């Protein structure tokens, strides 16, 4: 599954006119096709996260001068190690850099975030058009009615994984080697990891409301649409999440999330990234899909109860600042 169908349009659009969702066609109910409305992003700032993360791992203060000296030396060594561990972005050569890139998206969509992680890591400048999930007038010109849609130098590309494959083909023209491990974990993201997210972010009424609070705050809604989606959407998705658990054989949603996180960190096998010294497409896919939930309660619990936090921190540093262009 590589595309995101709007939860809002599915919630409030008559079933008879809901567009087909090929990526989840195995799901037999409308509710299950809402799975990928789990695209939520942070309610914490990056600075708040860094304070939270490092405060948990920093050494306690000591009144001993020896301890202070050792602590300072350790802090300096750690700082130097961190500065040398930062991975440089992989910007394409100027002759291969697209001239104009426009992303049609929902801000909270995990698949849109997957594409953005790729663009940011490769430092490819792009414009963003936020799509209203009710009327979708921003993509009225397109026969394809899902997001993300990426228009590269006038050419339309659909489906997050297809978009990433095509961009990779264009900017890495001399690299035709297929990395089987990378492909395996990219499939794992699309076929397993994404299924675990919805039952977690809609696990309780409070978590469902937290999710829709972000969606309605950052999405492209009118005032009336915002109120409708915020309250009705949270209630509906709380109920739908219970059906999703049953559909995908999930008994304990948090345990499933933690297991997925640990499965990924085990796959790293001691490496900084699955790609070794730098992220590969699988790293970017996992990071992109998880980024929308990273500071919601589900994401915070995941970091606190698994080993994924250190890898995620490295990915944040590697992907770096967004290359999104101001409107």
Q: Which residues are catalytic?
A: 106, 109, 111-112
Task: Tell me the C-alpha to C-alpha distance, in Å, between residue 46 and each of 53, 226, 261, 294.
Answer: 10, 26, 21, 11
d(CA 319, CA 295): 17
d(CA 205, CA 158): 34
| Long-range pairs, 248-253, Cβ under 8 A, ≥24 | 248/195, 248/199, 250/195, 250/196, 250/199, 253/196, 253/199, 253/200, 253/203
CB atoms within 10 A of CB 251: 8
Question: Helices (H), strands (E): how many in the chain?
Answer: 14, 4
């Amino acid at each position: 599954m590589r595309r995101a169908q709007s939860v809002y349009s599915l919630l409030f659009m008559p079933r008879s006119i809901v567009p087909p969702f090929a990526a989840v066609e195995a799901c037999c109910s409308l509710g299950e096709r809402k799975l990928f409305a789990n695209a939520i992003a942070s309610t914490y700032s990056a600075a708040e996260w860094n304070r939270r993360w490092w405060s948990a791992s920093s050494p306690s203060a000591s009144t001993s001068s020896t301890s202070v000296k050792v602590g300072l030396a350790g802090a300096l060594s750690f700082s130097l190690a961190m500065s040398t561990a930062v991975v440089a972005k992989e910007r394409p050569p100027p002759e291969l850099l697209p001239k104009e890139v426009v992303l049609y998206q929902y801000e909270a969509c995990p698949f849109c975030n997957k594409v953005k992680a790729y663009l940011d890591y490769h430092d490819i400048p792009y414009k963003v058009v936020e799509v209203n999930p009710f009327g979708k007038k921003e993509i009225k010109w397109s026969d394809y009615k899902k997001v993300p849609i990426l228009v590269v130098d006038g050419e339309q590309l659909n489906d997050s994984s297809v978009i990433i494959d095509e961009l990779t083909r264009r900017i890495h023209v001399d690299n035709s080697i297929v990395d089987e491990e990378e492909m395996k974990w990219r499939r794992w993201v699309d076929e397993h990891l994404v299924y675990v997210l919805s039952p977690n972010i809609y696990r309780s009424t409070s978590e469902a409301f937290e999710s829709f609070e972000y969606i309605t705050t950052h999405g492209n809604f009118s005032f009336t649409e915002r109120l409708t989606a915020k309250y009705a959407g949270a209630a509906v998705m709380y109920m739908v999440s219970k059906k999703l658990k049953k559909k995908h054989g999930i008994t304990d949603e948090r345990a499933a999330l933690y297991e997925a996180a640990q499965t990924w960190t085990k796959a790293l096998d001691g490496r900084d990234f699955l790609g070794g010294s730098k992220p590969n497409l699988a790293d970017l896919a996992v990071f992109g899909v998880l980024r929308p939930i990273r500071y919601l309660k589900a994401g915070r619990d995941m970091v606190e109860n698994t080993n994924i936090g250190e890898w995620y921190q490295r990915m944040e540093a590697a992907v770096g600042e967004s290359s999104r262009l101001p409107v």
